[in-house]
Each structure stands twice: as C-alpha cells, then as structure tokens.
Amino acid sequence: MKRLFGIVLYMALALGANPALADSAQAEALREGDMKKLMFHSAPAPAPQVEFERGEGGAGRLGDYQGRVVLVNFWATWCAPCRAEMPTLSALEREMGGEDFAVVTIATGRNPPPAMKKFMDEIGADNLPLHRDPRSALAREMGVFGLPMTMILDAQGREIARLTGDADWNSDSAQAIIAALTGRAGG
C-alpha cells in the first residue's frame, strides 16, 4: 500500500512539474467514441522539419506552427475515408482554430492542386490549407503508413498523440481534448 501511494505521489508530482504531460493526461481521459483511437505518447517526440509545399506557395515546415497546438492530418484526394473525415476537420478548425490551435491538412503523394481544390470544394471545406507533400518525404519521416493519419503536436512542436484512420474531429470529445491541450478547458 505504501509503495502504491509512493507511485501515485511521484506521478502527481511529475505531472504537476510538467504542465504539458498534465495537459496530455487530462486530454487522454476525455477520449470517447472515435477519439478512443487517439493514442497519446508516453514521451513527446520532436516533429521532423522536412519541407512541404504550402498551398499559397513556397516551402513550409511544421516548426512554422510552433507556439500553437496543431492537428496535422495527412490525406489524399483518392482516399474515401479522408472524404468522410475532412468535413469534421473543417468544422473543428472553424470552431476552435485561432492563435493557440490550428488544423493543418497535408495531401501526401500525387495530388494535383486542381484536384485538391475540387475535393475541398465538393465537401465544403474552404478553411483548410491545401498543403502538399508530393514526394511523401514528410509523411515517411513521420511514419505515415496509411491514410488518413492524424498527429497532434504540442505548442513546442512535439508529437504528443496520433490517430490512424478517420474520426469525427468535431465531436464533443475531440473538442474537449483540444480545449484541454490549449488550456481552454474549464474556461
């Protein structure tokens, strides 16, 4: 019993000393429905800084979003589960996007910009970026092995969670998780 109390006390002190882990632990407890597929990592891992093509032109890196919690979604125009999921990502960005949070969509592989725009127009997602990873360099570096795949980066640019497959990102659970990670919870 003393040992168990010691472990619980140690964990409480460790989480209290590291607000990012405390936020992740709080967020992990909020997983319901599709969000049960969201797996939080025991230790944050720095996101690779491989360049991708920004929708508005030029090169971008995930580090460009440092200072915000970022939901990075890898998708493709030919991916049926991506088509089902994308409207929920758009709704999440509309509801929660701002200075402390962003949804960043990156089409990986061969996705011509006109086809990407048509895809987004057809599903009514006019608020998501049309970034591309045409050679799948960033996707490979991040261990993307199927689509869609979504990662959550903390404000320091470290991957803290990952979800394989599609999910309802506009669910109450998803919004509660983002609120906990951005410090909006309870406020």
- Please report, for the domain that includes residue 122, its CATH number: 3.40.30.10
Q: What was the pLDDT predicted at 25?
A: 84
Q: Is residue 94 part of a domain?
A: yes
Summary mean pLDDT of the chain: 89
Report, as an integer, the average pLDDT of 103-114.
97
Q: What is the pLDDT of residues 164-174, one digit of tens each?
A: 999 999 999 99
pTM: 0.87
Q: Is residue 91 part of a domain?
A: yes
Q: Is residue 90 part of a domain?
A: yes
Q: Is residue 34 part of a domain?
A: yes
Burial (CB count <10 Å: 0-12, 13-18, 19+), residue 101? buried
Q: 12: how many CB neighbours lie within 10 A of its CB?
A: 11
Alpha helices in the chain (DSSP H): 2-17, 19-28, 80-96, 113-123, 137-141, 172-182
pLDDT at 109 exceeding the cut of 50: yes
Q: Is residue 187 part of a domain?
A: no
What is the domain count for the chain? 1
pLDDT at 15 exceeding the cut of 80: no
Distance in angstroms (rounded) separating the CA atoms of residues 65 and 81? 26
Domain of 158 in residue numbering reads as 2-182
Q: What was the pLDDT predicted at 154?
A: 97
pLDDT at 6 exceeding the cut of 60: no
Spatial CA neighbour of 38 closest among 183, 180, 168: 168
Distance in angstroms (rounded) separating the CA atoms of residues 125 and 128? 6
Q: What was the pLDDT predicted at 186?
A: 59
**Which of the two residues, 124 and 26, has the higher pLDDT score?**
124
Report, as an integer, the average pLDDT of 153-158.
97
pLDDT at 16 exceeding the cut of 70: no
Q: Which residues contact 7 (CB under 8 A, 6 or more apart)?
A: none
Q: Is residue 102 part of a domain?
A: yes
